Amino acid sequence: MYTVPLPMIGTDMAWREAAKRLIGAGVSPPDVLWDYGNNMPELFATAAPLPAPTRRVKAPQSFVQMAETVVWHKDPQRFARLYALLWRLRHEQGLMQDRADPDLARLRQMEKGVQRCKHKMKAFVRFRDLRQGGDRRSFAAWFEPTHHTVEPTAPFFARRFADMDWMIATPDVTVQFVDGNLSFHPGQPKPDLPEDAAETLWGTYFCNIFNPARLKVQAMTSEMPKKYWKNLPEAQYIPGLIAGAEEKVQQMRDTAPTLPPERAKRIQERLRKQDPDAKN
Amino acid sequence: MDLSQKLAILSDAARYDASCASSGTARRDSRDGKGLGSTEGSGICHAYAPDGRCISLLKILMTNFCIYDCAYCVNRVSSNVQRARFTVDEVVQLTIEFYRRNYIEGLFLSSGIIRSPDATMSDMVRIAQRLREVESFRGYIHLKTIPDAAPELIDQAGLYADRLSINVELPTDNGVKAYAPEKNPATIRKAMEDVKVRKEIASERSYKGKRGKRFAPAGQSTQMIVGADISTDATILQRSTRLYGDYKLRRVYYSAFSPIPDATAKLPLIKPPLAREHRLYQADWLLRFYGFDVGEITAARPDGNLDLDIDPKLAWALQNRGIFPVNVNTASKDMLLRVPGFGTRTVGRILSTRRHRHLRYEDLLRMGASLKKARAFITALGWTPGALTDSANLRACFAPPPKQLSLF
């Protein structure tokens, strides 16, 4: 029996290294306990060190890629499920192409969940200006991801916001980007971030780009589920926009067509003079 | 007027443009620490408004003053909406500050036509140039070009912008004549042709093998208003097929005509035909990714419109039941793509899995096929639809139940 401790930061590399050694030594899935973030009661913990790295272990590239994503899922069974599939892959060629295999299908579903969570994090993190002065501007955000996606998503923010310092705090992990260096730290409770006037402007934009004649609430919530709303500054306006939509459209319908403003005639005449080819 | 009021007016005026795409452009990032922003292939929707539309870009008009009088447009010269105009600096600052807070992927800048097409276009180009050259902005820029603007200005626009677009506005030339009297369909087509040619030149290598500067790497797109004139879906889809073919457009957007403030008497306000818009997008996808042609899709109904109750692929399959059921274990890729309930992804998964073993009904479920639709049209290991494929009430299984007309 092996107990493999997995850290909350650097989970992917730790799992990969351990899985390589275990599969190399032929340790079967039931003989491995995966201990994420030191949660395992000591009762089960055995001090047996991992087998030494042996021969080169081969796994299909498609499995490695999938595992790199699935390790960030919140399901406590993820490591065991991945290892079980890796175990099967020793003898089942073509298993990775079998889109209907139940074990693989489950892992693919988890992979999709993590990808979606990463995507939503890229979309819904909202920075606030910390106004600290200095050469580089500083921003910070609070975010609550569904899975453990801070670490795999951080490089995206580093590629995008390279000329400023920023921090994304989450309950599990906090990521900082200072002077071009990315670092990960333990999570923290929601910090008090200073008010940012740009949020009001963003709210103005959100309210005005909305077309009340096309109300489709479900289409919105399926892509922007309510669980994200509490950290989105624009979400506070949604109930009001929905409630007032019908009345706004009715007003447009009820208003009788108005006469064109004075300048309209002048402008149109000038336009026609300029361009004799114009129709009419 | 303060910035907030201007933003309110000029985003309100921009919401009738359907496009908010920020995908499919050249890859860029700012890892060198000398700029701001990145584009990485797929676009990101940073928020959704209650109309279900994605908010990816800061979509605004430079100004909503306009000398044209297009009946469907909220900004036409004869409308009494409040007018405003951004300065170059304001647009640049808004874009950068929104981008830094991760609200947006970039800017979609459009404009009413002021003074002259050239003057308007050159102001827009100046904004894009400032963003790129002064602010080192590497995010996404979409410029709506003005059809009559000088070719040099379009050339410049394409160097700074990821995407250029020109709206054809209405599906037929007569429609444009009737509702947008100052616009000329031939000029619009000429402008699209110019962008296409300019893009082709940019992609060619010189005799030394060097590539020219990239020109609008995310291509060009256009938009048609649906439901303002009497065009049928067949007319609209024929038009978009030509647009895709002739001008290599990346996307044609369909925008259901929706009520605008201070509407003209020329164009009475209707409930926006959202279902129709949705069916047109589905048909558009069938044309581009599923190997259908316009005739097949629009043949289902004699009036040339799409069936609003069921999707166009299902409508086609119900008309052509003789071809079905198809065997998922042996059918060709082209044929699988035509099965209702199978998307391109499902088809890809079927093809890769059946190299290894025969597929059962349950396998298809796990692959994400919509079997509620597909089951009547396929056979698999342990599944045949029997008489279902040819049953007279098959359509009724999919269409919403008939409603009795209200007496009031």
* Residue A47, min C-alpha distance to chain B (Å): 40
Q: In whole angstroms, how far apart are CA A167 and each of A187, B100, B111, B232?
A: 12, 13, 37, 53
Q: Does A99 touch chain B (CB under 8 A)?
A: yes
CB-count burial class (<10 Å; 0-12, 13-18, 19+) for A248: middle
User: With the CA atoms of B306, B310, B314 and B319 taken in that order, what torsion angle do they form, in degrees rounded to the nearest 10?
Assistant: -60
Checking if the pLDDT of B386 tops 60, the result is yes
pLDDT tens, chain A, 280 aa long? 889 999 999 999 999 999 999 999 999 999 999 999 877 665 555 667 888 887 777 899 999 999 999 999 999 999 999 999 999 999 998 899 888 889 999 999 999 999 999 999 999 999 999 988 888 999 999 999 999 999 999 999 999 999 999 999 999 999 999 999 999 999 999 999 999 999 999 999 999 999 999 999 999 999 999 999 999 999 999 999 999 999 988 888 888 778 888 888 888 888 888 765 544 3
Q: What is the DSSP letter of B108?
A: E
CB pair distance less than 8 Å for B47 and A206: yes
| Boundary-marking domain end, from A99, A119, A139 | A119
Q: Which of residues 42-81 of A touch B (CB under 8 A)?
A: none
B45 and A216: CB-CB below 8 Å? Answer: no
Domain of A102 in residue numbering reads as 2-119
- Cβ-defined contact of A139 to B356 (cutoff 8 Å): no
Token code pair at residue B289: 């990714």
Asked, for residue A19, whether it belongs to a domain, the answer is yes
Asked if B111 contacts B78 with a C-beta cutoff of 8 angstroms, the reply is: no
Identify which of A113-117, B15-19, B183-187, B367-371 has the greatest average pLDDT: A113-117
How high is the pLDDT of residue A190?
95
Instruction: Check whether B380 has a pLDDT greater than 50.
Output: yes
Interface residue B48 vs chain A (CB under 8 A): yes
Indicate if A182 and A214 belong to the same structural domain. Answer: no
Contact B262 A215 (CB under 8 A): no
pLDDT for residue A277 = 52
B32: chain A residues, CB-CB within 8 Å: 162
pLDDT at B209 over 80: no
Note whether B3 contacts A202, CB cutoff 8 Å.
no
Q: Which pLDDT score is estimated for A280?
A: 39
* pTM, two decimal places: 0.92
Which residue in A122, A214, A217, A270 has the most chain B C-beta atoms within 10 A of its own C-beta, making it the best mutation to test that interface?
A214
**A75-79, B205-209, B337-341: lowest mean pLDDT where?**
B205-209
Q: Residue B259 above 90 pLDDT?
A: no
Q: Give the DSSP H or E segment for A251.
A: helix A238-254
| Cβ-contact B395, B307 below 8 angstroms | no
Chain B residues lying within 8 Å of A242, measured CB to CB: 50
Q: Are residues A215 and A268 in the same domain?
A: yes
Name which of A126, A212, A241 is nearest B101 (Cβ-Cβ).
Answer: A126
Question: Would you call B186 an interface residue with chain A, using a CB distance cutoff of 8 Å?
Answer: no
User: φ and ψ at A178, to 5 degrees?
Assistant: -125, 125
Name every chain A residue with its beta carbon within 8 A of the beta carbon of B102.
125-127, 141, 161
Among A119, A138, A168, residue at a domain's last position:
A119
Of A166, A186, A206, the one marking the end of a domain is A186
Residues A16, A77: one domain? yes
Q: What's the average model confidence in pLDDT over B87-103?
A: 97
Q: Residues B44-94: pLDDT tens digits?
A: 999 999 999 999 999 999 999 999 999 999 999 999 999 999 999 999 999
The CB density around residue A31, as the number of other CB atoms within 10 Å, is 11
Residue A238 forms part of a structural domain: yes
The answer, for A273 touching chain B at a CB cutoff of 8 Å, is no
**Ranges of each domain in chain B:** 3-218, 312-398
A192 part of a folded domain: no
Question: Which residue in B86, B42, B59, B66 sits closest to B146, CA to CA?
Answer: B66
pLDDT (0 to 100) of residue A65: 96
pLDDT in the model for residue B203: 84
Q: Is A87 helix (H, G, I), strand (E, B) or coil?
A: helix
With a cut of 70, say whether residue B407 has pLDDT above it: no
Domain count along chain A: 3
Q: Is residue A191 part of a domain?
A: no
Sequence-distant (6+) residues with CB within 8 A of B81 are B9, B13, B64, B74, B75, B261, B262
Interface of B with A in 279-338 (CB under 8 A): none
Q: Which residue has the tokens 């109930």?
A: A239
| 168-227 in chain A: CB under 8 A from chain B | 180, 196, 198-202, 204-220, 223-224
Nearest CA in chain B to A255: B262
Distance CA B343, CA B355 (A): 19
Residues A279 and A201 in one domain: yes
CB-CB under 8 Å, A159 with B366:
no
Residue A278: per-residue pLDDT: 46
